[in-house]
Amino acid sequence: MTKTRPAWVLYVSAGAVMAAALPSLAQVDPQKTRIRHTPVLGPVTHGGEADDTFQAQNIVLRTWLPLNAFPNMPGSPSGADCWGYVSPSGREYALMGLSWGNGIVEVTDPDNPNILTVVDGGVNSLWRDITVVGDHAYAVSDSTGVGIQVMSLANVDSGSVQFIGNISQGGHSTTHTLLSNPDSGFLYACGGNANGGGMIPCSTTDPNNPAFTGPGWNAQYVHEAQIVNYTSGPYAGKEIAFLYTGGPYYGEPNGLAIVDVTNKNAPQQLSFLAYPGIRFSHQGWLSNDRKYLYQDDELDNPGSGNVPRCLTRVFDVSDLSNPRLCASFTTGLPSVDHNQYVSGRYLFQSNYSTGLHVWDLSDPLRPFEVAWIDTRPEDDSTDYVGAWGNYPFFPSGTVLISDLERGLFIVKMSVLEVDPVGAMPAALTPGQATPVTVHVGERDANVNGNAVDLWVSVNGQPFSAIAMTPGAGGNFTGAIPAGSCQDRVRYYFTATTDDATPRAFNYPLRGQAEPLSARVQSSETVVFSDDFETDKGWTVANTSVSAGAWVRGTPIASGGHGAAIGDADGSGKAFVTGNTANADLDGGPTRLTSPTIDLSGDPDAVVTYARWLLSIQGTTDDLVAEVSSDNGANWTQVETVGPSSGGWRSFSFRVADFVTPTAQVKLRFSVSDSGNNSTTEAGIDAVTVVSPQCAAACYADCNGDAVLNLSDFGCFTTRFATGDPYADCNGDAILNLADFGCFTTKFALGCP
């Protein structure tokens, strides 16, 4: 089935509805109509009864309500989208879109849900969407429809759901998605047969009679949307709509539109973005701070444009007039990414045939997948089968998943959240243990208080575990052992559940794969530093570069997809590829080489730099960092940065781990668009080279104040009592009175 936007639109005054005299545009995914959605029926199943059916990681199935559990099921049933409602009493309800209507289920006890009713949908439709404003639910359907269905939930706690009626106005009948902004009290109907498939605001001032208000926005078809009120910053007082407007499926350069809908009679488009590899801009959701937007394209295709099938794009939307694509991530699976929502620190994303995937957004540009449940065990196909939507906003932590063939899943995520308390140390004092503290939060999981560990590796040796001590409020303390001058320390933290099969959670999230690092030193000398505000002699060499060579300057705001946003250190300038409006690197490599750096007197010199890379669509490319000790005659690779480094990232390495520090050290950064078919942008900034130094340690100066007095005895006594390795003065690995005698002797000898 081929869909086209209308060549003309009939404008209706009064309700300001613009109704198009044509069938619905919102049947966006024609593949869905060609797929036989064979329902999987059976008894209501509780979590333990289905452990072998639905594989999961860190998600617990509480109840599965198959389609046949809902009343009045027709011969060919299917599920659609879902939403949730919390009554004033705190009881929680699932609103489940069904092909034949709207299921209302109390899920306050997720192990014993109670299906209250199915409100007749008026028509049978594969597409059904439902949302809530106040104590009213509103539902729409696509391909065939009856306008907006209105249901009162005012008496839902007593088991009563009142169907108010089907509201149709100005010829409106079908709608693909219906979004709500509870803060403004408005509904927004998208992708229907009215307003050319665009977006129409709808007032719920009279909750029983939602009324189209203003002309809406119909510059393009709108498939999905998120509408929010801004209460701070430059957009304070504004109601902003983020619109996902399809793509080349309609023969248009569609993508992401950001529209100010504060004035319903005069919506103002603030920006429009058609991103690289666009095929069908489907849906997205803002981060809690509204700086980033996570968006999926429903038709990503590795075979057409070489974009991973399940790729989520991250846009910086801090400037609504200039949204910028700045990162991406993927499950690596062939399934289709679909509806996603941000709740707390997590992104909950329905991925059709592979179920629900949950990403930790603690690092917003490099999300980490922390949990998943596969609601379709048959396969991981690219078909539109399986998990359609989810709802993760219940205060209890209960999460809903709506599934095309299997109905409603009620689940809980079970994770530990390991977070640092205070800054984690990067410099360690020689001869002294360094205390560290983490907080372990419990989300439907219990921590084993005897299994929170600090893992430490010194000078490349295997990691070893050090048990941490539980404290108040979920905090755990430990200490990085005392080290010798110039020791290189890597460390991370692990908290383990007290389950029969324990599960481990890390900080940093990737644990041993990407640990924290520190050096044992008392000071450091800066050997070389460049913030790129002046020309310090870097050179650029290009091979077959037609555009986008390295250039030093202030990254421009119109740099386009993937281009560096600002510089890394805030000084203003950086080296970036290109730095012209909406132009990326073509050809290459383009190589950026440092001036010669004399490290002949600095055997433990450490290089730190910040790098940026985004490469998307086509043959994606890497950023390669190298070091030379012979003025560039030979090069040794230090790291290869993958296609999405996720914004500005700092990286450090010890020169001697790769080459011998000499008087002829150089650094080099290379990037290419090898197939000349991708969007590739890179940046380098904040390059420093330091030489760690160690002063002679005075053991008897326990508190480090450079004065020997009774306070040092108090310090030693405290550290002895807490089992600090420092207190093993005589080095026999046993803390006893002999260590006090050893300390007294060293105190009497004084410091050199």
Range with the poorest average pLDDT among 166-170, 593-597, 640-644: 640-644
Residue that terminates a domain, selected from 648, 668, 693: 693
If asked whether residues 689 and 546 sit together in one domain, one would say yes
If asked whether residues 511 and 652 sit together in one domain, one would say no
Instruction: Identify the three-state secondary structure at position 367.
Output: coil
Instruction: Identify the three-state secondary structure at position 706.
Output: coil
180 closest CA partner among 221, 232, 139 = 139
Average pLDDT, the chain: 91
Look at residue 301 in the predicted model and tell me its pLDDT.
Answer: 80
CATH of the domain at 541: 2.60.120.200
In whole angstroms, how far apart are CA 155 and each of 4, 152, 296, 496, 622? 43, 8, 37, 43, 58
Which residues lie below 8 Å from residue 89, measured CB to CB, with a gap of 6+? 157
Residue that terminates a domain, selected from 520, 544, 577: 520
Q: Which amino acid is at 676?
A: N
If asked whether residues 660 and 644 sit together in one domain, one would say yes
If asked whether residues 487 and 575 sit together in one domain, one would say no
Q: How does residue 37 score in pLDDT terms, banded at 50, 70 and 90?
A: confident
- Is the confidence at residue 13, as pLDDT, over 50? no
Over residues 525-574, the pLDDT tens digits come to 999 999 999 999 999 999 999 999 999 999 999 888 899 999 999 999 99
Q: How does residue 326 score in pLDDT terms, banded at 50, 70 and 90?
A: very high
Look at residue 33 in the predicted model and tell me its pLDDT.
Answer: 62
Over residues 256-281, the pLDDT tens digits come to 999 999 999 999 999 999 998 888 99
Residue that terminates a domain, selected from 218, 238, 261: 218
Over residues 69-110, the pLDDT tens digits come to 999 999 999 999 999 999 999 999 999 999 999 999 999 999
273 closest CA partner among 293, 295, 258, 259 = 258
Q: Match 């909406």 to its residue by tokens.
A: 582
Within a domain: residue 294?
no
Within a domain: residue 3?
no
Q: How does residue 253 score in pLDDT terms, banded at 50, 70 and 90?
A: low
If asked whether residues 647 and 545 sit together in one domain, one would say yes
DSSP string, 95-144: EEEETTEEEEEE-SSTTS-EEEEEEE-SS--S-EEEEEETTEEEEEESSS
CATH of the domain at 497: 2.60.40.10
Instruction: Identify the three-state secondary structure at position 262.
Output: coil
Query: Which two three-digit tokens encode residue 611?
Result: 């790098």
3-state secondary structure 549-587: CEEEECCCCCCCCCCCCCCCCCCCCEEEECCCCCCCCEE
Within a domain: residue 366?
no
CATH of the domain at 143: 2.130.10.10
Q: Match 């020791």 to its residue by tokens.
A: 487
Look at residue 187 in the predicted model and tell me its pLDDT.
Answer: 98
| Domain encompassing residue 553 | 526-693
Paired sense of beta strands 148-152 and 162-167, if any: antiparallel
Within a domain: residue 611?
yes
CA distance 387 to 177: 17
Domain count, the chain: 4
- Is the confidence at residue 435, as pLDDT, over 80? yes
If asked whether residues 101 and 193 sit together in one domain, one would say yes
DSSP string, 399-413: EEEEETTTEEEEEEE
Model-level pTM?
A: 0.90
DSSP string, 593-657: EPPPB--TT-TT-EEEEEEEEEEESSS---EEEEEESSTTSS-EEEEEE-SB--SSEEEEEEGGG
Range with the poorest average pLDDT among 456-465, 684-693, 711-720: 711-720
- Is the confidence at residue 23, as pLDDT, over 70? no
Q: How does residue 14 score in pLDDT terms, banded at 50, 70 and 90?
A: very low
Within a domain: residue 338?
no
If asked whether residues 504 and 562 sit together in one domain, one would say no
Q: Which amino acid is at 662?
A: T
CA distance 662 to 407: 67
CA distance 543 to 538: 17
Over residues 597-637, the pLDDT tens digits come to 999 999 999 999 999 999 988 778 899 999 999 999 999 99
If asked whether residues 428 and 509 sit together in one domain, one would say yes
If asked whether residues 588 and 646 sit together in one domain, one would say yes
In whole angstroms, how far apart are CA 691 and each of 221, 335, 606, 664? 59, 49, 6, 16
Q: Which amino acid is at 86?
A: V
Instruction: Identify the three-state secondary structure at position 662.
Output: coil
Query: Which two three-digit tokens encode residue 215?
Result: 């002309």
CB 471 within 8 A of CB 435: no
Within a domain: residue 229?
no
Within a domain: residue 588?
yes
Over residues 203-232, the pLDDT tens digits come to 999 999 999 998 999 998 999 999 999 999
Query: Which two three-digit tokens encode residue 463?
Result: 């990691």
If asked whether residues 588 and 624 sit together in one domain, one would say yes
**659 or 25: which carries more pLDDT confidence?**
659
- Is the confidence at residue 29, as pLDDT, over 60? no
If asked whether residues 547 and 667 sit together in one domain, one would say yes
CB 56 within 8 A of CB 374: yes
Over residues 349-360, the pLDDT tens digits come to 999 999 999 999
Within a domain: residue 31?
no
Q: Which amino acid is at 282?
A: H
If asked whether residues 81 and 173 sit together in one domain, one would say yes
Burial of 499 from C-beta contacts in 10 A (0-12 / 13-18 / 19+):
exposed
Separation of CA 259 from chain center: 24
